[in-house]
A and B are shown apart, each in its own frame.
Chain A
Amino acid sequence: MTINNNGMFVRATPLLFGALFVIGLVAPFAVYPTFLMKILCFGLFACAFNLLLGFAGLLSFGHAAFLGTAGYICGMLVRDLGVTPEVGILGGTLAAAILGWVFGVLAIRRSGIYFAMITLALAQMVFFFALQWKATGGEDGLQGVPRGHLFGLIDLSNNIAMYYLVFAVFCVGFFIIHRTIHSPFGQILKAIRENEPRAVSLGYDVAKYKLLAFVLSAALAGMAGATKTLVFQLASLTDVHWHMSGEVVLMTLLGGLGTILGPLVGAGVIVSLQSELADKVGSWVTVIMGVIFVLCVLLFRRGIVGELQALIKRAGIN
């Protein structure tokens, strides 16, 4: 996929990251913590998705499967087996990684649009499974997941404590993504995205790299899903529905495909919109989402962060 390109790549300085980190630390005292946690969870989800689309050029239309599966697994582990929250998150992440491997093996046999449709179809199978399996609670969802005590010590029913856990999880995920992009592995992914035949001719096992990227992205999406389950104390069919797969594409696209901060910004905007619009426009929410989608694709494909970077760059040149 020809996504904004090399120059556009975020050269986010350590200073910017440092400032954001500090903002992240103090934010829960200024803004409603549950709302922030939701943004961070979806932000991580979108970042994981962006790793695949923005840097490896693979459009998955089935990422909800990883978010949802990890959420269910984490919920079952914590609620029914009584494990501590960190084990729940790890368990969910692992489940998503395994599922990601299965999806990946099947989907990377085709590329482009076929890849998107295959992931969509596979995710639909996961949806039906979640709907019919008794343990997921079907349409009622998996309810009443306790937040529990982190490491058996820190009580997470306190919103602020929970927030810092979510923030930590986000930072870990974000760090992994950042490292991946700037590692030799990330460079090879970009090479594959730009020119697959050339990468093949250079002797790279393209399929293996794609698969690895897919599994990594799935695992991180799972991490977001598992954490989200703890925050809201529930996992439901919404998280495995294909609308969710569409939503994460929208977040990434709106924020800026292939930029490192874009997905977080996109998630922030969409989550805020959904919560604001819920009171005001009633039934028009989907229409508005659709309009944003269309506008993004037609008018600003670089997304919010991408456009900002372009603006800064232009200002720098002049």
Chain B
Amino acid sequence: MHKKLLTAACTAALALMAGGAQAQISGNVVKVGVLTDMSGTYSDLAGQGTVVATQMAIDDFVAQEKPAFKVEMVSADHQNKADISSNKAREWFEREGVDVATELVTTSTALAVMKVAKEMNRVTLMSGPGSTAITNEQCNDLTVHYTYDTYAMANGTARAVTKQGGKTWFFLTADYAFGHSLEKDSSAVVTASGGKVLGSVRHPFPASDFSSFLLQAQASGAQIIGLANAGADTTNAIKQAAEFGITPKQQLAGLLMFISDVHSLGLKNAQSMYLTTGFYWDLNDETRAWSKRFFDKQKRMPTMVQAGQYSSVLHYLKAVKAAGTDEAQKVMAQMKKTPINDFFAKNGQIRDDGRMVHDMYLVQVKKPEESKYPWDYYHVRQTIPAAEAFQPLSESRCPLVKK
């Protein structure tokens, strides 16, 4: 009798172990959480579009890879509040078995969530936030900063514009930490590339009237006016620069702009501006194909954040399948080991500090008469190779980077 029981128990245990090789995925479900700004300042560049992109990534993964596990998605509006997002993330991890928190536009929410995730041993994939603190002072080994950061944006634009002859600069800077760091990073690049910074003016954030600041920029006589601000501040400044006849005599350089900003400004206002982007839908056949699919669902062309969101989620899911587990450290090791090759990135690589490095593009906004079809907004002027686009590891302030 006892013997029988024992054998039964053993068989059961063996069966469990055998199944275990595959069932190392908790509940046999991989749950992707999308925390984003659905209603606030960043809802156009991230928001619902990132939810759509995530769903596309999941559908494509399931269709192509036919995984043995199920993939589910949950999403929430973090309302740009750090406490709501950290609370939500904690709840997801503790009670709903979410494996990975993604997107997280707005740096304050991103920093809060990556700490919670690390504490609970989960992965964080960030497509939306821009702060370099994520891969420097605040870095950890379970976070991937995927699409862009302020360094790459400012660096790419400032360097390229200076090299193309925009030697003298004047900065219009949003007066808070984010604006200051954009200004600082770009000033350094301008000087290093042989340009000269004539001065800067700090405007309150948020502001709606930029005319007096623009006139100061005009009085400086600089060839290039660098806009170290974001969102509505940037678009208002651009619009008013045209109004006051500052452009096209002097040129503007947007240090942090998205295609959604260009779309809302219209080409007439934004024409000839330089900016850096991690993705443009009209780069090649592959990007066009994906973007058209996105457009069919969202009625807007994707921003780089939305495209990056798709790519990062797909990369994560493939890593889970390859590693045969959803345990964070193992998945992360797999993700770092595998180069990223899809429509978004070619030979993208996740570094030790969590930075995903890939090529960036310097683009110039088309003139209205050059635009042939809807969303035909950019001339791609230069591809900035991955190695140059991002902050070099040697300058990293992340303790995980071995020097």
A236 touches B82 (CB 8 A): yes
- Docked Cα-Cα span, A212 to B84, in Å, equals 33
User: CB distance B74 to A236 under 8 Å?
Assistant: no
Min CB gap A66→B, angstroms: 17
Q: Beta-carbon contacts of B79-114 to A below 8 Å, as 1s and 0s?
A: 111111011101100110000000000111001100
Shortest beta-carbon distance from A129 to chain B in Å: 11
Interface residue stretch chosen among A188-196, A262-270, A275-283 = A275-283
Given contacts A35-B87, A140-B108, A143-B138, A279 and B76 within 8 Å (CB-CB) = yes
Mask, B41-85, CB within 8 Å of A = 1, is 001000110000000000000000000000000111111111110
Do A238 and B39 touch across chains, with their CB atoms under 8 A apart?
Answer: no
Report if A44 contacts B (CB, 8 A).
no
With an 8 A cutoff between CB atoms, is B276 at the interface?
A: no
B108 contacts across to A, CB distance below 8 A: 137, 139-141, 143, 234, 236-237
Q: Which residues from A are CB-within-8-Å of B321? A: none
A274 an interface residue at 8 Å Cβ cutoff? yes
- List, in ascending order, chain A residues with CB within 8 A of B94's CB: 32
Tell me whether A285 and B79 are in contact in the complex, defined as CB-CB below 8 angstroms, given that A140-B111, A140-B133 are known contacts: yes
- Assembly CA distance A254 to B353 (angstroms): 47
Write the A230-272 contact mask toward B (1 if CB under 8 angstroms, else 0): 0011101110000000000000000000000000000000000
Nearest Cβ on chain B to A271's Cβ, whole angstroms: 10
Size of the chain A interface, CB-CB below 8 angstroms: 32
**How many Å lie between the Cα of A308 and that of B280 in the bound state?**
58
Closest residue of B by beta carbon distance from A278? B76
Name the prevailing secondary structure of the A interface residues.
helix
Complexed CA–CA distance, A32 and B112 (Å): 19
Q: Does B176 contact A (CB under 8 A)?
A: yes
Across-interface contacts of B175 in A (CB, < 8 A): 131-132
Decide: A236 near B81, CB < 8 A? Known: A128-B204, A138-B178: yes
Task: Decide if A158 is an interface residue (CB 8 Å cutoff).
Answer: no
What sequence of 0s and 1s flags, for each residue 190-219 of chain A, a beta carbon within 8 Å of any chain B beta carbon? 000000000000000000000000000000
Kindly state the separation between the CA atoms of A192 and B84 in the bound complex, as whole angstroms: 39
- Which of B47, B48, B88, B112 contacts A278 (CB under 8 A)? B88
Which partner residue on chain B sits nearest A228 by CB separation? B83
Of all chain B residues, the one with the shortest Cβ separation from A134 is B177
Which residue of B74, B88, B115, B205 is within 8 Å of A233 (Cβ)? Answer: B115
A277 to B177, CA, bound (A): 31
Scoring A132, A228, A232, A278 by chain B CB atoms within 10 A of each residue's CB, the highest score goes to: A278
Query: Which residue of the partner chain B has the closest CB to A279?
Result: B76
Which B133-192 residues have a C-beta within 8 angstroms of A? 133, 138, 175-178
How near does chain B come to A119, taking the closest CB pair, in angstroms? 21
**A232 with B87, Cβ < 8 A, contacts A141-B108, A144-B115, A144-B138 known:** yes
Q: How far is the CA of A258 from the CA of B111 in the complex (A)?
A: 39
Of chain A, the residue at the smallest CB distance from B230 is A139
List CB contacts (< 8 Å) of A110-159 with chain B: 128, 131-132, 134, 137-141, 143-144
* CB neighbours of A282 from chain B (8 A): 38-39, 48, 77
Residues of chain B in range 308-346 having any CB-CB distance to chain A below 8 Å: none
A13 within 8 A of B: no
Whole-angstrom distance between the alpha carbons of A140 and B94 in the complex? 25
B95, closest chain A residue (CB)? A32
Chain A residues whose CB sits within 8 angstroms of the CB of B77 once the complex forms: 277-279, 282-283, 285
Residue of B nearest to A283 (CB): B39
Does chain B have a CB within 8 A of A84? no
Q: How far is the CB of B77 from chain A (nearest CB, A)?
A: 5
Residues of A within 8 A of B277 (CB): none
Contact indicator B83/A236 (Cβ below 8 Å)? yes
Q: Does B364 contact A (CB under 8 A)?
A: no
Separation of A279 and B34 alpha carbons in the complex (Å): 10
Contact partners of B111 in chain A: CB under 8 A:
140-141, 143-144, 234
Q: Is B131 an interface residue (CB 8 A)?
A: yes
A2 at the B interface (CB under 8 A): no
CB distance from B94 to the nearest CB of A (A): 8
How far is the CB of B138 from the nearest CB of chain A, in Å? 7
* B176 partner residues in chain A, CB cutoff 8 A: 131-132, 138-139
A-facing mask of B12-41, CB < 8 A → 1, else 0? 000000000000000000000000001100
| CA of A277 to CA of B81, assembled, Å | 14
- A22 vs B81: C-alpha distance when bound (angstroms): 32
Taking the complex as formed, is A79 at the interface, i.e. its CB lies under 8 A from any CB of chain B? no
Note all chain A residues with C-beta closer than 8 A to B95: 32
Give a binary string over A1-33; 1 marks a CB under 8 Å from any B CB, 0 the rest: 000000000000000000000000000000010
Residues of A within 8 A of B138 (CB): 143-144
Closest residue of B by beta carbon distance from A130: B176
B115 near A143 (CB under 8 angstroms)?
A: yes
Beta-carbon contacts of A283-295 to B below 8 Å, as 1s and 0s? 1111000000000
* B112 interface neighbour in A134, A234, A277, Cβ under 8 Å: A234
Contact assessment for B83 and A234 in the assembled complex, using a CB-CB cutoff below 8 Å: yes
Chain B residues near A284 (CB-CB < 8 A) = 39
- A238, closest chain B residue (CB): B81
Q: Which chain A positions have C-beta within 8 A of B86?
A: 232-234
CB-defined contacts of A32 to chain B, threshold 8 Å = 91, 94-95
CA distance A137 to B81 in the complex (A): 14
- Complexed CA–CA distance, A139 and B107 (Å): 7
Q: Give the residue of A128, A138, A232, A277 whose beta carbon is less than 8 angstroms from that of B82.
A: A232
Which residue of the partner chain, among A34, A131, A144, contacts B205 with CB atoms under 8 Å? A131
Q: Once the chains bind, are B112 and A139 in contact (CB under 8 Å)? A: no
B88 touches A275 (CB 8 A): yes
With most chain B CB atoms within 10 A of its CB, the pick from A128, A139, A283, A285 is A139
Q: Which residues of A contact B (CB under 8 A)?
A: 32, 34-35, 38, 128, 131-132, 134, 137-141, 143-144, 228, 232-234, 236-238, 274-275, 277-279, 282-286
22 interchain pairs, CB-CB under 8 A: A137-B108, A138-B178, A139-B106, A139-B177, A139-B178, A140-B108, A141-B108, A141-B112, A143-B108, A144-B115, A233-B115, A234-B112, A236-B108, A238-B80, A238-B83, A274-B79, A275-B91, A278-B78, A282-B39, A283-B39, A285-B39, A285-B77
5 smallest CB-CB distances across A and B, nearest first, come from A138-B177, A283-B39, A141-B108, A282-B38, A138-B176
